[in-house]
Structure 1
Protein backbone atom coordinates (compact mmCIF):
# COMPACT_ATOMS: atom_id res chain seq x y z
CA UNK A 1 0.00 0.00 0.00
CA UNK A 2 1.30 3.44 -0.89
CA UNK A 3 1.86 5.66 2.11
CA UNK A 4 1.12 9.37 1.94
CA UNK A 5 1.45 10.38 5.57
CA UNK A 6 3.59 9.55 8.59
CA UNK A 7 1.00 10.30 11.28
CA UNK A 8 1.35 6.89 12.91
CA UNK A 9 5.17 7.12 12.99
CA UNK A 10 5.15 10.64 14.42
CA UNK A 11 2.61 9.65 17.07
CA UNK A 12 4.92 6.80 18.09
CA UNK A 13 7.92 9.16 18.21
CA UNK A 14 5.92 11.49 20.48
CA UNK A 15 4.66 8.55 22.60
CA UNK A 16 1.04 9.39 21.75
CA UNK A 17 -1.85 7.25 20.53
CA UNK A 18 -4.41 7.58 17.77
CA UNK A 19 -7.10 7.76 20.46
CA UNK A 20 -5.31 10.74 22.02
CA UNK A 21 -5.05 12.41 18.62
CA UNK A 22 -8.74 11.82 17.92
CA UNK A 23 -9.61 13.61 21.15
CA UNK A 24 -7.26 16.50 20.29
CA UNK A 25 -8.67 17.09 16.80
CA UNK A 26 -12.28 16.30 17.73
CA UNK A 27 -12.63 13.50 15.20
CA UNK A 28 -13.94 9.96 15.49
CA UNK A 29 -11.38 7.36 16.58
CA UNK A 30 -12.08 5.23 13.52
CA UNK A 31 -11.36 8.18 11.23
CA UNK A 32 -8.02 8.88 12.87
CA UNK A 33 -7.22 5.17 12.75
CA UNK A 34 -7.79 5.22 8.98
CA UNK A 35 -5.43 8.20 8.69
CA UNK A 36 -2.80 6.31 10.67
CA UNK A 37 -3.04 3.28 8.40
CA UNK A 38 -3.17 5.44 5.25
CA UNK A 39 -6.57 4.02 4.30
CA UNK A 40 -7.63 7.66 3.90
CA UNK A 41 -5.98 11.05 4.28
CA UNK A 42 -6.96 13.91 6.56
CA UNK A 43 -8.08 17.17 4.97
CA UNK A 44 -5.22 19.62 4.52
CA UNK A 45 -6.44 21.95 7.27
CA UNK A 46 -6.60 19.01 9.69
CA UNK A 47 -3.09 17.94 8.70
CA UNK A 48 -1.86 21.41 9.71
CA UNK A 49 -3.82 21.13 12.97
CA UNK A 50 -2.19 17.74 13.67
CA UNK A 51 1.24 19.23 13.00
CA UNK A 52 0.54 22.03 15.46
CA UNK A 53 -0.74 19.62 18.11
CA UNK A 54 2.32 17.40 17.71
CA UNK A 55 4.67 20.41 17.56
CA UNK A 56 6.20 19.39 14.23
CA UNK A 57 6.44 20.97 10.81
CA UNK A 58 3.64 19.73 8.55
CA UNK A 59 6.33 18.36 6.19
CA UNK A 60 7.31 15.86 8.88
CA UNK A 61 3.84 14.31 8.55
CA UNK A 62 4.18 13.76 4.81
CA UNK A 63 5.99 10.99 2.95
CA UNK A 64 8.38 12.26 0.31
CA UNK A 65 7.57 11.29 -3.27
CA UNK A 66 10.91 9.53 -3.76
CA UNK A 67 10.36 7.40 -0.62
CA UNK A 68 10.34 3.75 -1.72
CA UNK A 69 8.41 2.47 1.32
CA UNK A 70 5.32 0.46 0.41
Structure 2
Protein backbone atom coordinates (compact mmCIF):
# COMPACT_ATOMS: atom_id res chain seq x y z
CA UNK A 1 0.00 0.00 0.00
CA UNK A 2 2.82 2.39 0.82
CA UNK A 3 4.63 1.53 -2.39
CA UNK A 4 1.50 2.20 -4.45
CA UNK A 5 1.08 5.59 -2.78
CA UNK A 6 4.62 6.62 -3.67
CA UNK A 7 4.40 5.15 -7.18
CA UNK A 8 1.10 6.77 -8.12
CA UNK A 9 2.01 9.96 -6.25
CA UNK A 10 5.18 10.12 -8.34
CA UNK A 11 3.19 9.63 -11.52
CA UNK A 12 0.73 12.39 -10.61
CA UNK A 13 3.57 14.70 -9.63
CA UNK A 14 5.25 13.88 -12.95
CA UNK A 15 2.11 14.88 -14.84
CA UNK A 16 1.99 18.17 -12.92
CA UNK A 17 5.65 18.78 -13.76
CA UNK A 18 4.96 18.02 -17.42
CA UNK A 19 2.16 20.60 -17.47
CA UNK A 20 4.48 23.18 -15.91
CA UNK A 21 7.24 22.48 -18.49
CA UNK A 22 4.71 22.74 -21.35
CA UNK A 23 3.48 26.06 -19.95
CA UNK A 24 7.07 27.33 -19.79
CA UNK A 25 7.68 26.22 -23.38
CA UNK A 26 4.55 27.99 -24.61
CA UNK A 27 5.47 31.20 -22.78
CA UNK A 28 8.89 31.20 -24.45
CA UNK A 29 7.41 31.92 -27.88
CA UNK A 30 6.21 35.45 -28.72
CA UNK A 31 2.53 36.08 -29.22
CA UNK A 32 0.98 36.35 -32.69
CA UNK A 33 0.33 40.07 -32.23
CA UNK A 34 4.00 40.65 -31.43
CA UNK A 35 5.12 38.75 -34.51
CA UNK A 36 2.70 40.68 -36.77
CA UNK A 37 3.84 44.00 -35.31
CA UNK A 38 7.47 43.09 -36.03
CA UNK A 39 6.71 42.57 -39.68
CA UNK A 40 4.74 45.82 -39.91
CA UNK A 41 7.73 47.83 -38.58
CA UNK A 42 5.81 49.11 -35.60
CA UNK A 43 7.44 49.84 -32.28
CA UNK A 44 7.10 46.74 -30.19
CA UNK A 45 7.47 46.89 -26.46
CA UNK A 46 9.37 43.79 -25.39
CA UNK A 47 7.28 41.49 -23.28
CA UNK A 48 8.74 41.36 -19.80
CA UNK A 49 8.24 37.83 -18.59
CA UNK A 50 9.94 36.24 -15.67
CA UNK A 51 10.35 32.51 -16.08
CA UNK A 52 12.61 32.06 -13.08
CA UNK A 53 10.05 31.20 -10.42
CA UNK A 54 7.97 28.92 -12.62
CA UNK A 55 11.12 27.19 -13.84
CA UNK A 56 12.22 26.50 -10.26
CA UNK A 57 8.80 25.10 -9.39
CA UNK A 58 8.85 22.86 -12.47
CA UNK A 59 12.36 21.60 -11.62
CA UNK A 60 11.36 20.87 -8.03
CA UNK A 61 8.21 19.06 -9.15
CA UNK A 62 10.28 16.95 -11.54
CA UNK A 63 12.76 16.06 -8.81
CA UNK A 64 9.98 15.15 -6.40
CA UNK A 65 8.27 13.00 -9.03
CA UNK A 66 11.49 11.10 -9.69
CA UNK A 67 12.12 10.62 -5.97
CA UNK A 68 8.58 9.43 -5.22
CA UNK A 69 8.60 7.04 -8.17
CA UNK A 70 12.00 5.64 -7.19
CA UNK A 71 10.85 5.06 -3.60
CA UNK A 72 7.62 3.47 -4.80
CA UNK A 73 9.42 1.05 -7.10
CA UNK A 74 12.13 0.27 -4.51
CA UNK A 75 9.73 -0.78 -1.73
CA UNK A 76 9.05 -4.51 -2.05
CA UNK A 77 5.44 -5.70 -2.20
| TM norm structure 2 | 0.23
Q: Which has the higher helix share?
A: 2
Tell me which structure has the larger Cα radius of gyration. 2
| TM norm structure 1 | 0.24
Which of 1 and 2 has higher RCO (CA within 8 Å, sep 6+)?
2
